[in-house]
Amino acid sequence: MLSTETPINKAAPPDAAIKTAANEQRASVSRPKILIAEDDPDQSEMLSDVLKDSGYEVDCALRGDDAFRKLSERRYDLIILDIRMPGLNGGTVLKAFRLKNSLPRTPVIVVSAFASGADKARYKKDGADMSFSKPYELNELLQGISALLDPSAVSRPDTQSG
């Protein structure tokens, strides 16, 4: 006679599945949340995949007005912001976000094809913590993200020598 009952896994106690689920939920709660505001769907998807694989929780916005709406609805640990986007441009999103949310300060990384020295100075003045010119090196961007989210994890040169 065939049994239709599901066999019981005797190797794991019955509450092991509950503990595993609780640990997974705790891990997802503590993952840093990043908003990518990038109008190029391919760039946005590629960066999102890399960041998710690196353990971050990621939301994407393909328009500036969508980015600002998401920033109004949820708290993020870091924002990656393109400057040239439909709806609202990234510069407007950055200024409005900084005016609306002074504390706690959320780090912002600007990525732009328009990132000359003068542009980067303007982004900094408007509240960006870092800026990268497109095309950027992915590893440099990831190092910047790590530095802004956990400054203690970044090795610093010895400033006492010399």
Query: Domains along the chain?
Result: 59-149 (3.40.50.2300)
Measured distance between the N- and C-terminal CA atoms of the chain, rounded to whole angstroms:
83
Backbone angles phi, psi at 35, to 5 degrees: -105, 125
pLDDT of residue 153: 55
Structure tokens at 19: 């503990």
Can you give the pTM of this predicted structure?
A: 0.75
pLDDT of residue 102: 59
pLDDT of residue 116: 84
Cis amide prior to 7 (ω within 30 degrees)? no
Percent of the chain scoring above 90 in pLDDT: 64
Query: How far is residue 64's CA from residue 95's CA, in Å, rounded to a whole number?
Result: 12
Q: What is the mean pLDDT of residues 121-136?
A: 93
Query: How far is residue 45's CA from residue 127's CA, in Å, rounded to a whole number?
Result: 25
Residue 7: pLDDT band with limits 50, 70, 90: very low
Structure tokens at 109: 């990384």
With a cut of 90, say whether residue 19 has pLDDT above it.
no
Query: How far is residue 97's CA from residue 157's CA, in Å, rounded to a whole number?
Result: 33
With a cut of 50, say whether residue 78 has pLDDT above it.
yes
